[in-house]
Amino acid sequence: MNLLEIRNLRSSIRTPDGTASALDGVDLTIKEGESVGLVGESGSGKSVLALSVLGLLPEPGGTIKDGSSIRFRGEELVGAPGKRLRAVRGGGIAMVFQEPMTALNPVLKVGSQIRESLLSHRALSRREARAEAGRLLSEVGIPAPEDALDSYPHQLSGGMRQRAMIAMALAGEPSLLIADEPTTALDVTTQVQVLDLLKDIQERRGMALLLISHDPRVVSRACNRVVVLYAGRVIEVGSMRDVLRDPLHPYSAGLLDSRLSLRRRRRELTPIPGEVPDATRWPPGCRFHPRCPQVMGRCRTEEPPLFQGPNQPQPEEPEAGAMVGRQGREKDRSAEPAPRRTRCWLASDDGPDGEVP
């Protein structure tokens, strides 16, 4: 059984300009202990996905539409009572946000915040909770945990605050940690340290990780599989290695070209032209067509389904809604191939042949 199974998730948010269809039929699964990266530019729907899973869409105005399903350990979370969702939050699923100062209470010491989180999720005495809070701070690499317990958030550096946030998220011993842009506010060296910490914790605890970033290189440091989101749709999914080496969708290729290199610390200048369209008015056809360097006539009117890509064992019968993609690519024999799919006509056998891009 998948740990998290999202099917046909459609989430909308009412805005002054109309209803934003922030997620429009998203499927995503995470297995126990798996690390998955969710990437896409600003406005693609990454945070709305995380908030939908946690039952934390803005109110009023945020809605998960009928027909959507989010199952955690087989339990349907869409429409579940608030009490149940609160129990899942922090216990089964925990979240780390981009800016720890928005999640940590500035007037409470770090130790008491972690302790409260521990007491709400685990049967511990106050003394045990303090000891456990110290142990968690040490697990996330804070060098003097006793001092950090007695510090206020503003007394810690940005990197140490983010580590303290991660410690707090671990208090409920979650089986899934969702980290939404957890390193964006940090300098490059600290970013790398925090990403390595997340990977280390994920592996050591056998916990699943959903790491959200606009930068595929960031998630590649900690994740084995990647899901690329564009305009509220999944447009590519595959193993991290396959997508980095050989992105199938022009948008994924563009994201890789416009990346900020973690190692080389400079921006490689081939940005994707334009920006993610307004979620209240998605373009017809392929939603990427107004920006795509390989656009063809049919892209303007017909939206491609998620085609099955290479590095995927070929089923005897194609799945409903999926078509068999490009053939003859080298298969990765070193590991069981992760399912690979992309939403682009170029991935169909008749895509590029019929029309000149």
Ligand X SMILES: Nc1ncnc2c1ncn2[C@@H]1O[C@H](COP(=O)(O)OP(=O)(O)OP(=O)(O)O)[C@@H](O)[C@H]1O
Contact 213, 219 (CB under 8 A): yes
Q: Does 182 bind ligand X (CB under 6 A)?
A: no
Work out how close the CB of 97 gets to Mg ion at its nearest, in angstroms, rounded to a whole number.
9
Q: Does 183 bind ligand X (CB under 6 A)?
A: no
Alpha-carbon distance of 329 to 195, in angstroms, equals 32
* Residues 237-276, mask of contacts with ligand SF4 (x by CB under 6 A): ------------xx--------------------------
Residue 159: CB atoms within 10 Å: 21
Among Mg ion, ligand SF4, ligand X, none, the one that 295 touches (CB under a kind-dependent 5 to 8 A) is ligand SF4
Alpha-carbon 179 to chain mean position = 7
- Total binding residues toward ligand X, as defined by CB under 6 A: 15
Stretch that binds ligand SF4, among 77-85, 119-127, 323-331, 343-351 (CB under 6 A): 343-351
Please choose, from the candidates 343, 281, 351, the residue with its C-alpha nearest in 3D space to the C-alpha of residue 306. Answer: 343
Q: Specify burial of residue 169 (Cβ count, 10 A radius: 0-12, 13-18, 19+).
A: buried
DSSP readout, 121-165? HS---HHHHHHHHHHHHHHTT-S-HHHHHTS-GGGS-HHHHHHHH
Closer residue to ligand X (CB): 58 or 318 = 58
Alpha-carbon distance of 90 to 7, in angstroms, equals 22
Work out how close the CB of 210 gets to ligand SF4 at its nearest, in angstroms, rounded to a whole number.
25
Stretch that binds ligand X, among 41-49, 77-85, 100-108, 191-199 (CB under 6 A): 41-49
- In one-letter notation, the amino acid at residue 318 is P
Closer residue to ligand X (CB): 15 or 261 = 15
Q: Does 208 bind ligand SF4 (CB under 6 A)?
A: no
> Judged by CB under 6 A, which of 28, 34, 39, 44 binds ligand X?
44
Q: Could you tell me how many residues make up the chain?
A: 357
- Residues at the site binding Mg ion, with contacts judged by CB under 5 A: 46-47
Closer residue to Mg ion (CB): 47 or 202 = 47
